[in-house]
Chains A and B, each alone.
Chain A
């Protein structure tokens, strides 16, 4: 690791001001990506501003048909939260299969979506549920937030404060775990809104990161059942290919995981 200066911020405003003072600052949430990358000397920020102890970034709120998860809430706290389990059990399930116990105790929802790893689980949930990302400056719709591999709509120094999810009629998530990293080799989140709309998002599959799957959305809108997806064809064009999965395999997984997510949806 290169030398760096560590700051523990006590408020969002203080974090933003500390960030602005550094020549090459980075925010630290759960550290599940930033710290390994720093240890490998692939990143060498001048200043690291820890958001993990900021009280206003912690916790879950359920208000009417909106579930709000504050940005620095850990996966473990999300997974075990009664409101999450009751309002959107698919999110509780997603966090229960995310990484391993050590990752779940440290990693946060804000850190995951800010990093926007193309195989991360949470971006699929945000996109399929039509969530809104709240920052210290504005609100950003999930459709606008994710902009490609490790790229988001966040501006330099902008801090995610929370994510708001409209509570769906039904939602489900299934993923094939990457055999080595346990990220999603391909994961699919399906959601049926209370107005009857259907949104489906796949992670781990596309070369451009998390994506909607319109063909499956159309099929499910017509008939919300696993068998409705049988006749859908998913093209392998533009899908990721690596030693653990060809593009054709990932195309197949989008279908199979979508079917299983529908079957599991509650």
Chain B
């Protein structure tokens, strides 16, 4: 590795603009003649829209238009789609109700858009919105999964009787039944995976600009995947053909999954821009973000695990109810199925697994992928189960895990995934050593003498990342392929532009992707720039989510780099009158191996573009592109252990130590990886201790501001103790597995296992608020 190559802790190039306030986010963009949109949203969880009277609003100062859902229908704008088809166990397709971008007839969650005011300023639009009179007929609402599936429950969509979207199964039920029939012990567990609001720092925003002369739209939007946005807006919503729609996602301040999807507001902004003939801007406020950004998690699960007399796992049986909210968001159907049940083998040899997942509509904000997406729910379930089993079987929880670890690779699980490589003992050993696991009983005894309840909790997670092999996901119902593209442009003076279909919204691609070039060519990263987030610049791409950008996106760049290097070597060999096979690349120079003959990259580039003296038949220029489709998922895995102290007087949990031993394969920039792990751990701890998006029985949100929804703060989390054990991923040439979601996937179980160990009671739901922990301690 060079000073800026793979494995170097290079300071992030993009941070200079971010920390000096020079970042350019959607809301920073101001277009000439721009108008502002304010959405009128339903205050009811379920209601008929009887009448919308906008006559008074239209007379107010600065009002350009008031548009409604019916006008959207009249203009034949398509409904929102769900891009992954799931088939129920009876063979029927999933049952979806229509989701119009603004409700023409029925609203099904608080915050659903009903109409939009377009005005000269946001404040004038909001003034006018208060003058729009909407007559609603309230309908009974249901927010809870169990209430929604009961006979006689309020029905959301006629297409989905009983509010059931699908009843999906995975695995061999007969084999599981057989395993349980010969079990020496069965461990049972009921748990809830709490609903979360994603809360990226930058709220969503959109600016739509219609050019009537060209019949062309430009959309600036807060997207993790601008090309997918364009594809969906073109192919399904009839906004414009692809070549007449440019989507730009400039600097984006965090996403965590919530900015993958196409939301009603972008669609309405595009349509409204054409209707009013001026650019239309919409920026979400924080309350709108709580009401409309896709939420995460929200599972209710019963699980049973069978063990033989030697504590070897025989089988696992899982039944999960997944709350989808009022509509099926873009990837929502895949999250509790193919991103969840396929990970239920965890790090363990489980000969038989059967999972049933029932997707349910409720009068709540739609739920979709949020950092980890399905895999945190699977990991939480398994690691709570292993801890519960260790307590029930009276064995050490780490020893029980080790006894059941997968140690031979590749390993085919009973739930689709084929793990390529890993060393689960290595990561657990590293974590146990880091936290002095052996010394814990003495520390617990000392804490007890001081009146404190101390506990330790282990969590061994595995995830499927590098999403994903196109053929495989296609066979499972995905509507898109999940490859990535890249283009490497060497300019005539030797500087390099990398165009990628990945999108950086906090991940540091502008640094890490340059490090690959520095590694390959030996040029400083200051000579390399990364271009992303603009469909007019980058031909196509699938965006950033599922910890895929290094494993898939960077591999695509590598493939394009290899083509560039091959051509450059031919040019160098020609110039140096040497054999191509003798050319090596070192420190930005193409050298004839074993000699002092060399030509620098800028001279090779110049030769390529002047084309005065190229090898016979060679095209001028030095620019190559590549598409890369992975052959398998990647499987980051690791062990987290945390040690906590619970105050018996208040139920408050404090961290004594938190250690993480992750196996991400090769690391491009360990500093950025550590940042990703820190952020993920904090989100996992946030879920375990603080965060919960709550609705009352009538579907009214209770936690729609930071006054009620508890986000983790710096003083809520410990200083983390991180380490890495490494097995290189054989599925891509760089050996990368991905690191973006691990912390959020593995942390919550470690925390709850530690608290339940501390208080000596196993039943404790997330978030483990002080009140809840105190009541659990003092429950009879």
Contacts and interface: CB of A to CB of B under 8 A. Distances in A.
Contacts of A181: 706-708
B711 A243 contact: no
Contact of B775 (A2, A176, A244, A246): A246
Interface in A111-159: none
Contacts of B287: 40
A243 B702 contact: yes
A59 interface: no
B481 interface: no
Contact of A244 (B123, B649, B769): B769
Contacts of B707: 180-181
Contacts of A253: 650
A243 B707 CA distance: 12
Contacts of B706: 180-181
Interface in A236-266: 243-246, 248-249, 252-253, 256, 259-260
Interface in B314-336: none
A7 B570 CA distance: 75
A252 B778 CA distance: 11
Interface string A173-193: 000100111000100000000
Contact of B694 (A179, A185, A243): A243
A180 B650 CA distance: 16
Q: How large is the interface on B (under 10, 10 to 19, 20 to 34, 35 or more residues)?
A: 20 to 34
Contact of B771 (A180, A249, A256, A260): A249
B126 interface: yes
Interface residues of A, number: 20
B506 interface: no
A232 interface: no
B544 interface: no
A185 B711 CA distance: 16
Interface string B645-661: 00001111000000000
Contacts of B769: 179, 244
A1 interface: yes
A252 B650 CA distance: 8
A41 B126 contact: yes
A126 B690 CA distance: 31
A246 B123 contact: no
B702 A179 contact: no
Contacts of B703: 180, 243
B770 A180 contact: no
B774 interface: yes
B775 A179 contact: no
B710 interface: yes
A180 B709 contact: yes
Interface in A168-216: 176, 179-181, 185
A161 B651 CA distance: 40
B126 A180 contact: no
A111 to B, nearest CB: 17
B649 A179 contact: no
Nearest to B778: A252
Given A176-B652, A179-B710, A253-B650, A244 B126 contact: no
B287 to A, nearest CB: 8
Nearest to B651: A249
Contact of A179 (B126, B127, B770, B774): B770
30 contacts: A1-B123, A2-B127, A40-B287, A176-B650, A179-B689, A179-B710, A179-B769, A179-B770, A180-B703, A180-B708, A180-B710, A180-B711, A185-B770, A243-B692, A243-B703, A243-B708, A244-B708, A244-B710, A245-B770, A245-B771, A246-B771, A246-B775, A249-B771, A249-B775, A252-B649, A252-B774, A253-B650, A256-B650, A259-B649, A260-B649
Top 7 A-B pairs, shortest CB-CB distance: A180-B710, A179-B710, A256-B649, A249-B771, A181-B707, A245-B771, A180-B708
